[in-house]
């Protein structure tokens, strides 16, 4: 299969498995979108990890040979499906983590940018948005999500050249959240995901919504969004359980209600 899917406790894990470089095509994104929706619809899942079975590549972006051979109309279908898929990541109520231990280039990096967090391995692999070297530009949100993460000047520096950059540079500019030794990455990512997923999922969904909506608003309007979302949580079963567990000095047992 091009992609693999499994659930570990309350964590859904989507694994890219299209050797040699996980280069994508239309079928790849059709399957990825279906798996994202499957995880979103599973009420027991609180977190999604997207990773790769390859030791060298997270995702190399579009399959260039196939892209060149296709008609413009066929390629537009793939691009449209890619944009729909990344929008599904944007709108996902679960926390989505890209677990990266190999090259993330072009559209592959755009997938990672659409995730909420990026946990990566130490190593000599590269990140980059090289589309300008093909006479193009990132078209799956790369110019927008990259800029929002690293700032206008830094984003334009790399977008204009199309050059790739290292793990250390990615960490320095704030593109990645955590860097682990390669042998520890999968376990550390899963442990973090499980800790989040066992929490109150209604509060997690509201927190994501507050962060993303508020970031695009003036402070006063963002505070109103936070207030509305926060106030709606007070009467939930999870909030009652959280307070009761605190008083009883025990671990809470959240139900997502």
Rounded Cα distance between 75 and 80, Å, is 9
Tell the residue number behind the tokens 């025990």, with chain if given.
250
Q: Which residues contact 15 (CB under 8 A, 6 or more apart)?
A: 3, 4, 5, 6, 50, 51, 52, 53
SS3 100: strand
Strands 11-16 and 3-8, sheet pairing: antiparallel
Bridge partner residues of 152 (DSSP): none
Bridge partner residues of 27 (DSSP): none
SS3 per residue for 173-241: CCCCCEEECHHHHHHHHHHHHHHHHCCCHHHHHHHHHHHHHHHCCCHHHHHHHHHHHHHCCCCCHHHHH
Which residues are designated catalytic? Answer: 110, 131
Q: Which residues contact 17 (CB under 8 A, 6 or more apart)?
A: 1, 2, 3, 4, 52, 53, 54
């Amino acid at each position: 299969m091009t992609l693999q899917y499994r659930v570990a406790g309350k964590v859904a894990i989507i694994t890219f498995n299209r050797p040699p470089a996980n280069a994508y095509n239309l079928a790849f994104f059709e399957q990825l979108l279906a798996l994202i929706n499957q995880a979103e619809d599973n009420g027991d899942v609180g977190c999604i990890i997207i990773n790769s079975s390859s030791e060298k590549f997270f995702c190399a972006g579009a399959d260039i040979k196939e892209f060149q051979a296709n008609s413009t109309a066929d390629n537009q279908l793939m691009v449209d499906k890619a944009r729909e898929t990344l929008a599904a990541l944007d709108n996902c109520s679960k926390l989505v983590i890209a677990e990266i231990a190999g090259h993330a280039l072009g559209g592959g990096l755009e997938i990672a940018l659409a995730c909420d967090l990026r946990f990566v391995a130490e190593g000599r692999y590269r990140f980059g948005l090289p589309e300008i070297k093909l006479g193009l530009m990132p078209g799956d949100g790369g110019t927008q999500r990259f800029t929002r993460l690293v700032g206008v000047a830094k984003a334009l520096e790399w977008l204009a050249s199309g050059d790739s950059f290292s793990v250390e540079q990615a960490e320095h500019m704030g593109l990645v959240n955590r860097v682990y030794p390669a042998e520890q990455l999968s376990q550390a990512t899963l442990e973090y995901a499980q800790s989040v997923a066992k929490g109150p999922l209604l509060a997690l969904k509201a927190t994501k919504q507050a962060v993303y909506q508020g970031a695009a608003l003036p402070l006063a309007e963002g505070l109103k969004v936070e207030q509305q979302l926060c106030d709606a949580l007070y009467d939930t079963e999870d909030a009652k359980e959280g307070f009761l567990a605190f008083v009883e000095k025990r671990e809470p047992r959240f139900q997502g209600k």
